[in-house]
Amino acid sequence: MLNVILFGPPGSGKGTQSENLIAHYQLVHLSTGNILRDEVNRQTPLGVEAKKIMDQGQLVSDEIVIGMIKSKVSENLEAKGFIFDGFPRTVAQAEALDKLMDAMNAPISVLLCLEVPEEELKERLLKRGVIEGRTDDNETTISNRIVEYKNKTQPVADYYQAQGKLKKIQGVGAVDEIFQSLKDAIASL
């Protein structure tokens, strides 16, 4: 099984590159951001609560997102592999994911970390805010999301580096070039 974590700061292109990777490797896509936005759109109790947190640029609780991932993984036990997009975002989430995948005898293969400078991230997200109308893509929320990333999410890369599973990918340039670098990194596993 090929189990890939696509990692990087907000706006680094995780969602964009996930689409390419799923089509190429026929993996099941698990994006906690998409699952949460779906709850928000359907105005479920979880969605109403999550919207407040997301609009402040903060992370939704570990308990909620770990529960979401467990149920999605168990719905797809026959999968060739998974792409985890936007998850794990804390070390506690990473530990829970490892436990879940190890129990299935399907450990995480690699964490691919998209590296993009902060100025470029802000530019991309502000642009997306205008185009897609996402309420968390405004200046204040974007800054909070970047702070949350540095404080709580970056340690996840160290956690997987300690397991020898971290691969850094240059995330600036044409989408196709970045996709090629991701494929090269997977081929070298």
Minimum distance from CB of 5 to ligand B4P (Å)? 11
Six-digit token pair at 178? 């970045």
Strands annotated E in the chain: 2-7, 28-31, 81-85, 110-115, 166-170
- The answer to whether 50 and 60 are in contact (CB under 8 A) is yes
Distance CA 107, CA 90 (A): 18
- Which of 110, 138, 125, 149 minimizes the C-alpha distance to 27? 110
Minimum distance from CB of 95 to ligand B4P (Å)? 13
Minimum distance from CB of 188 to ligand B4P (Å)? 21
Residue whose CB is less far from ligand B4P, 66 or 166 = 66
Question: Residues in the site for ligand B4P, rule: CB under 6 A?
Answer: 8, 10-16, 32-33, 36, 53-54, 57, 59-60, 65, 86-87, 89, 93, 124, 128, 136, 145, 175, 178
Residue whose CB is less far from ligand B4P, 52 or 80 = 52
Tell me the residue nearest to ligand B4P as measured from the CB: 33
Distance CA 97, CA 37 (A): 21
Minimum distance from CB of 135 to ligand B4P (Å)? 11
